[in-house]
Amino acid sequence: MAAEVADKLLEIQAIRLQPTKPFTWASGWKSPIYCDNRLSLSFPPVRNLIRDCLVESIQHYFQNVEAIAGVATAGIPQGALIANELGLPFIYVRSKPKGHGMENMIEGQVVPGQKVVVVEDLVSTGGSSLKAAEDLKKAGFEVLGMVAIFSYGFNIAAENFSNAGIKLVCLSHYDALLPRAVAKKYISPETLDSLAEWRKDPGSWMKE
């Protein structure tokens, strides 16, 4: 599954690799990779593959799920597709309360005690994803875990999810991506050492 999803994300350029011309993230980090899984929504075969893989993961790891919660904004369409496929209620979590009306943080029916699985499209450090899970807990939901399309595989993310006591299941990840990118000639084998170094210490990678 991890290799197949990585292949599709590379094919539609949802994931781009530029080891010699890195991207700059909002944090200021230089990065050889840029991931925008929202592009998958424009490609029905890829969209359906991701939906089916996420549904399969939820059915395998979180069999008692009673509702699906998407993380705004990219987790909303994925979560809605999954909830529809499973015939379950769908809600979504804002990054901050709506500034007018009911000022909701969670949109949809709030059912205290309901068992939810959180849907995210991309996990980097896990900060925003875990905040959404915490907001759901505060509202009374029981968070069974989280599923995501792709993870960079940072150690800090694994630590953050472990400390929060939340199981994370990702369809694909950085370690699965790199050999597929080499095999399909998106990158050269000579760049692998540099790409591995970025994942170890992204904050100082390529700094003079």
Q: What are phi and psi of 27, to 5 degrees?
A: -70, -15
Q: For residue 86, what is the enclosing H or E element?
A: helix 75-86
SS3 30: strand
Residue 2, token pair as written in the block: 């991890």
DSSP category for residue 25: -
Q: Is 40 annotated as a binding residue?
A: no
In which residue are the tokens 């059912």 written?
111
98 assigned binding-site residue:
yes
Q: Is 122 annotated as a binding residue?
A: yes
Establish whether 120 is an annotated binding residue.
yes
Residue 96 marked as a ligand binder: no
* Residues facing residue 175 across a β-bridge: none
For residues 164 and 12, give the distance between their C-alpha atoms in angstroms, rounded to a whole number: 34
Q: 127: annotated binding-site residue?
A: yes
Q: How many CA atoms lie within 13 A of 83 on its CB side?
A: 21
123 is in an annotated binding site: yes
Count other Cβ atoms within 10 Å, centred on residue 100.
6
145 among the known binding-site residues? no
Q: Per the annotation, does 193 bind a ligand?
A: no
Residue 11 assigned as binding residue: no
CA nearest 118: which of 97, 82, 142, 143?
143
**What residues form the annotated binding site for orotate?**
124
- List the binding residues: 94, 98, 100, 120-128
Query: Binding site for 5-phospho-alpha-D-ribose 1-diphosphate, residues?
Result: 94, 98, 100, 120-128
